[in-house]
Structure formats: structure tokens, C-alpha cells
Amino acid sequence: MNTVQQYLVEEELEHYRDGFISRREFIRRATMIGAATSTALAMAQTIGTVRPAVVAAQAAVSPVSVPANDPAVMTDWISYRSTDGAELKAYLAWPSSANMNMSNPGVAVCQQNRGVNEHIQDVARRFAKQGYVAIAPDLVSRTGKATSEFTDDAEYMRALSSLDASQNAQDFVASLDYLSAHPAVDENKLAATGYCFGGGVIWRLATQAANLKAAAPFYGTAPPLADVPNTRAAVLGVYAGLDDRVNATITDLEPALQAAGVTYKVNIYPDSNHAFHDDTSPVYNQTTALQAWMDTLNWFAQYLGLPAPTM
């Protein structure tokens, strides 16, 4: 399996362990993603006891959610060319009050492993409500089929797993170039964030985009450590206290960041699982999600030279 496939299969194994999918469904998804049947069976056997699925007690609607019809925000689906010439679709959101005078900050938002779904679109609108021009590239659209066109999660995951990890980051390099050229965006105020799978993409992006000023990857796996010295952005690493698999990557990443002189901070939010920020997820933690959201906005404000954010 390639690195993308390995990550996606490990996430599905966690879903099986935590009681959200059956053993049969795990094996189906794992093999569609790219694991050999024998590998999927062996991985399933490592789960001694399947935990009872724990669903978030809070209503799964974030208080900072921004509906699609909010008059303060404008949205559109756009297309842009990546570094290799491939055409990608992306969801774009910006303040209705934005003047086309290159004064707004820009932010690239990277999807989880379920694509640019309603939640990721909502996150883009949340940033737009804060004054950003936000772009959320639909990475799988480079295969010719957008997220919304898939009806089976495993089929979507197979398409996503066919993508190259390095090119995913380059697709975001190109999305920053799109923002830089947008008439409402100040090209010197570019940020990026991503969640789960997207957190790993943003860590890689930070090592490849010289024009990126601030980044906040949420529970993302570390980039190749040899590339860490190329990081120019100030990076806020957001992690979940109960996310042992991803948190294990911090051990080697921090010394590499320190040795390279990268401006960074690691926040580990207690009593929180992987994907705790997603208010459509059964593990949504409203308390820590709101804290991480404000921490991200404050981090971006600090390193983009913006006013303090508001809720």
C-alpha cells in the first residue's frame, strides 16, 4: 500500500475498533482502498475487543456553524489548474462585504477523508464569516469525479487512495496561487488548515509553500522529516488527547521542527478523539472544538497581522 492507502486503512481500522463499522465492513473498505485481503484480515485480528460505539452527547450542530444561505457569505464552485496541469474543483467562500481591493486574508481548507462534504463547506463559510476568502479543493476531483458524485463511501475511498501524497500537497500549493490572484485577497496573508487526512496534507503543504504564512493542521500525520527545514509558515499542530495513533508521530516531528527553527506550537486537547472538531461526527466534542477553532483564528491573526477574531 502507498502512504495514502495505509493512512486510510488505519482510519477504517479505528472505526471498526470503536464500534462504528462491522468487521465485514472494515474488510470490504480496506480491500477497496488497496489492502490485500490477507492484510485486512490480519489487521482485523489485532483488535481484541470492539468497543461500544460512543456517540457525542451534544447536538451535532456547532454554534459557529454558518448555513449556506447566510447573507454575510457568498459561495461558488470554481475550477483551477494544479501544478501538473490537472483541473480540480473547489468550493470557494468569501465575505459578502469584501471589496476587491486585495485586503482580505486567504485560507485553504483541506478535507477529511470524506471529501468536500457539507461539513467542510461549512468550515469554509465559517472562515468567510471571519473575513477570509476560503478555498476548499476537492482533491478527488482530479480523477474526473467530484465528491458529490460518489454514492458509496468505500468507492470514494478507493478513488482518494489512488492519489499521490506529494501531489495532494502540490494541489494545495496551486490553491494558494489561486487565492493570491484573487482580487479580494492580500497575497501576503495566506493560511491553511486541514482535518484528519487533510491535516497530513497541510503538514506537507507547509514544507512546500513559501508563501504560506500560517497553518493549523488538525490531527494530521507528520510530513517527511527531511522536508521539515523547508517550512516557512508558523504552524499550530492541533491534536486530540485520545488519538494515540496520530499523536505517536509528534515524538519525532517536534525535534525536527526545533532543529529547523520552525515557529510552531503543539496543542493537545484533553478528552477528545480523532475528528473531535467535526460537528457531524459521533465523536464531536463541542468544548474542545470551539477552543481549537478560536486557537486557530488567534494563531492566524497573530501571524497574518489581523485583528483579534470574534465568535
57-95 burial code (b ≥16 CB/10 A, e <16): eeeeebebbbeeebeebbbeeeebebeeebebbbbbbbb
Q: Is residue 275 within 8 Å of 258, Cβ to Cβ?
A: no
The β-bridge partners of 88 are 80
Tell me the C-alpha distance between 153 and 305, whole Å: 40
Catalytic residue among 171, 243, 278, 279: 243
H helix or E strand, kind and range, residue 78: strand 73-81
* Residue 196 and residue 102 share a domain: yes
Positive or negative, the CA dihedral 36, 138, 147, 197 is positive
* Residue 77 and residue 41 share a domain: no
Can you give the pLDDT of all 311 residues of the chain as single tens digits?
A: 888 888 888 888 888 888 878 999 989 988 988 899 999 899 989 987 777 666 555 456 899 999 999 999 999 999 999 999 999 999 999 999 998 999 999 999 999 999 999 999 999 999 999 999 999 999 999 999 999 999 988 889 889 999 999 999 999 999 999 999 999 999 999 999 999 999 999 999 999 999 999 999 999 999 999 999 999 999 999 999 999 999 999 999 999 999 999 999 999 999 999 999 999 988 999 999 999 999 999 999 999 999 989 77
H helix or E strand, kind and range, residue 40: helix 37-45
* Residue 117 and residue 37 share a domain: no
**Domain enclosing residue 123, as ranges:** 73-304
Examine residue 238 and state whether it is found in any structural domain, yes or no. yes
In the block, cell 506550537 appears at 265
**Is 182 labeled as catalytic in the residue annotation?**
no
**Is 110 labeled as catalytic in the residue annotation?**
no
Examine residue 54 and state whether it is found in any structural domain, yes or no. no
* Residue 173 and residue 271 share a domain: yes
Q: Give the three-state DSSP class for 104.
A: strand
* Residue 135 and residue 26 share a domain: no
Catalytic residue among 182, 274, 278, 279: 274
**Is 186 labeled as catalytic in the residue annotation?**
no
* Residue 29 and residue 82 share a domain: no
Cell of 159: 478513488
* Residue 11 and residue 89 share a domain: no
Catalytic residue among 196, 227, 278, 279: 196
* Residue 99 and residue 36 share a domain: no
